[in-house]
Homo-oligomer: A and B are copies of this chain.
Amino acid sequence: MSQSLNILDVSLRDGSHSVRHSFTVEQVRAAAKGLNAAGVRYFEVTHGDGLGGSSLQYGLSKVDELKLIEAAVEEATFSEVSVLLIPGIGTKQDLQAAASIGAKMVRVATHVTEADVAAQHIGLGRELGLKTVGFLMMAHMTPVEKIVEQAKLFESYGAEVVYVTDSAGALLPHEVTARVAALKDTLQCDIGFHAHNNLSMALANTIAAIEAGANYIDGSLRALGAGAGNTQTEVMVAVLEKLGYQTGIDLYKLMDVANEVIAPLMQQPQEISGSSLVLGYAGVYSSFLLHAQKAAQQFGVDERDILMELGQRKTVGGQEDLIYEVAQQLVKA
């Protein structure tokens, strides 16, 4: 079994969605201190939508993310702090600013078919001496060949790790295995996997990814994250230990930060609710949910039928007009 699993905790980035971008310096400091003490190699601190995400469109951050990153870096004597960058939301200047205050890793995230927009950002990450990662979001939406092609692009730009990112929590283990194994066969760089739990398969998918060769693995304490949340880091570490993997993490210390720092700041439980299940089942962007609900009311159809149809059509962000068109067509049908 692999002795070199790199666990990356995203509580302070994907979790930002779940707390509506309300993290304070004190909260980040306490979580960072705990993750560092537990021996977590990497953790990520950024607005949920990455550097520069604080906006009316994506949700305003209570505290400037650079202040949060700075606090995290101060606590991270062992761990290294990662930042997420989505080209089009964050800029190269944002990345330079994060690196200048001590971020050590950047994950450049694009839609699974759009790696080509990230060439310059990957290049800059390498120039700045950061560990530089490509992050292919909504990885369920394309066949295996397409994700291999896009991952190769990331590698050609200089990415040291490429992630299969199941943003909608829509993948099942055999689909994860197919994607990760294909990347492992084709790429020289390391492979990562990021899960969401909308179909209750986040940890099972994560284990499938590790068995297929992924060695960068995301988790979130108490599953704090968008939708139904992520793979729950402390549960993952417990299960990986039972399976004989060495994570280098002190499980009790990790449980302590989950229960004493993260649990008290949660604004709602990370359950699989009606909405998160439908999003995972349909395989659509979580930002479509409110539109689908409005359209359902306006046209008197079931929001689930709208979301399923959007999933069938592989609708992507920016195509929100389609939601109303689909609702209208459902009425006629």
CB of A229, distance to nearest CB on chain B (Å): 9
Are B204 and A252 in contact, CB atoms less than 8 angstroms apart? no
A274 partner residues in chain B, CB cutoff 8 A: 255, 258-259, 263
* CB 8 Å contact bits of A254-275 with B (1 = contact, 0 = none): 0100110001000001111110
Instruction: Select which of B202, B231, B238, B281 is within 8 A of A281 by beta carbon.
Output: B238
Is residue A302 within 8 Å, beta carbon to beta carbon, of the partner chain?
yes
Dominant secondary structure at the A interface: helix
Instruction: Select which of B172, B203, B302 is within 8 A of A200 by beta carbon.
Output: B203
Are A269 and B271 in contact, CB atoms less than 8 angstroms apart? yes
Are B204 and A242 in contact, CB atoms less than 8 angstroms apart? no
Is residue A232 within 8 Å, beta carbon to beta carbon, of the partner chain?
yes
Are A172 and B242 in contact, CB atoms less than 8 angstroms apart? yes
Among residues of B, the one whose C-beta sits closest to the C-beta of A208 is: B204
CB of A311, distance to nearest CB on chain B (Å): 11
Is residue A304 within 8 Å, beta carbon to beta carbon, of the partner chain?
yes
Is residue A243 within 8 Å, beta carbon to beta carbon, of the partner chain?
yes
Are A199 and B269 in contact, CB atoms less than 8 angstroms apart? no
Is residue A37 within 8 Å, beta carbon to beta carbon, of the partner chain?
no
A252 partner residues in chain B, CB cutoff 8 A: 302, 304
Is residue A98 within 8 Å, beta carbon to beta carbon, of the partner chain?
no
Are A239 and B199 in contact, CB atoms less than 8 angstroms apart? yes
Task: Tell me the residues in window 203-227 of chain A with beta carbons closer than 8 Å to chain B beta carbons.
Answer: 203-204, 207, 222-223
Contacts A201-B203, A243-B172, A277-B238 given; does A269 touch B269 at CB 8 Å: yes
Among residues of B, the one whose C-beta sits closest to the C-beta of A238 is: B281
Is residue A44 within 8 Å, beta carbon to beta carbon, of the partner chain?
no
Is residue A173 within 8 Å, beta carbon to beta carbon, of the partner chain?
yes
Is residue A234 within 8 Å, beta carbon to beta carbon, of the partner chain?
yes
A263 partner residues in chain B, CB cutoff 8 A: 273-274
Instruction: Select which of B199, B222, B234, B258 is within 8 A of A235 by beta carbon.
Output: B199
Contacts A172-B243, A252-B302 given; does A271 touch B270 at CB 8 Å: yes
11 A/B residue pairs, CB under 8 Å, sorted by A: A173-B204, A200-B231, A200-B232, A200-B235, A201-B239, A203-B204, A204-B204, A223-B272, A238-B280, A255-B274, A255-B277
Extra inter-chain contacts (16) besides given A204-B204, A223-B271, A234-B277, CB under 8 Å: A172-B243, A173-B204, A199-B235, A199-B238, A199-B239, A200-B202, A200-B231, A222-B271, A222-B272, A232-B272, A235-B277, A238-B280, A252-B302, A255-B278, A263-B274, A270-B271
Of all A-B residue pairs in the complex, the 7 with the closest CB atoms, nearest first, are A269-B269, A204-B204, A259-B274, A200-B203, A238-B281, A200-B235, A269-B271
